[in-house]
Amino acid sequence: MAFQHVALMRFPETLTAEELAWMGQLIRTWPDAIGGLESLAWGTDVSGRAQGCQFGIVVRFRDEAAAEAYQVHPRHQELVHWIRAHAGEVLAFDFPIPHP
């Protein structure tokens, strides 16, 4: 059963273009480095309805085991540590997606 991961990030300061570029470069490495990802999308909020969250990631995994491996993978943890170092907050929402 596929598994969906949604993460919304809020930072006390607006992220710079360089910081956004760094995040994008890191995230783009995930499919090859981590594996088990069926789809990956990320970006900055343009709606103004994100209650202060500036950045979001949506990842679909082939199954829950792939999602669990992603959580502890060093490449994902690199972003986690960077977010913490920048006083960021993360709201994560994970759920299984039954195949039709």
Q: What is the pLDDT of residues 25-80, one digit of tens each?
A: 999 999 999 999 999 999 999 999 999 999 999 999 999 999 999 999 999 999 99
How would CATH label the architecture of 2-97?
2-Layer Sandwich (3.30)
Cα separation of 37 and 51, whole Å?
Answer: 28
Residue 3 pairs in a beta bridge with 61, 96
Total-model pTM: 0.92
Domain coordinates of the chain in residue numbers? 2-97
Cα separation of 33 and 54, whole Å?
Answer: 25
